[in-house]
Amino acid sequence: AQRVTQPEKLLSVFKGAPVELKCNYSYSGSPELFWYVQYSRQRLQLLLRHISRESIKGFTADLNKGETSFHLKKPFAQEEDSAMYYCALNTNAGKSTFGDGTTLTVKP
């Protein structure tokens, strides 16, 4: 069965510092990976997906199949990045699995 692990429950950085949220997965097939974000009092929403290879709000994520990782990175964190971040995996059959999330706090 597939699994998504986010090893850090809480992550705190200062504004302007680099930030990396870790995501590791286990799945025998070719996964489709996503990062979702939930800002305070808002709905869970997509931040980015690996197949688009785009940068959203300064965040990027690279799929590393060798290390089975999909870490989320931003070179200069902003206070408005404070939120809950979830890594998610879709299997070939479309089944969805989420990690337990990382709460990011960006301090002024």
Partner 1 sequence: EAGVAQSPRYKIIEKRQSVAFWCNPISGHATLYWYQQILGQGPKLLIQFQNNGVVDDSQLPKDRFSAERLKGVDSTLKIQPAKLEDSAVYLCASSSRTSGNEQFFGPGTRLTVL
The residues of the shown chain that bind partner 1, judged by CB under 8 A, are 4, 6, 9, 32, 34, 36, 43-46, 49, 51-52, 86, 88, 90, 93-101
Which residue, 8 or 15, is less far from partner 1 as judged by CB? 8
Which residue, 94 or 108, is less far from partner 1 as judged by CB? 94
What is the closest distance, in whole angstroms, from the C-beta atom of residue 55 to partner 1 in the complex? Answer: 17
Quick check: 74 and 24 in contact, CB under 8 A? no
Which residue, 59 or 86, is less far from partner 1 as judged by CB? 86
Buried b (16+ CB within 10 A) or exposed e, 22-33: bbbbebeeebbb
What is the closest distance, in whole angstroms, from the C-beta atom of residue 82 to partner 1 in the complex? Answer: 18
Residue 81, exposed/middle/buried by CB under 10 A (0-12, 13-18, 19+)? buried
Which residue, 15 or 90, is less far from partner 1 as judged by CB? 90
What is the closest distance, in whole angstroms, from the C-beta atom of residue 15 to partner 1 in the complex? Answer: 26
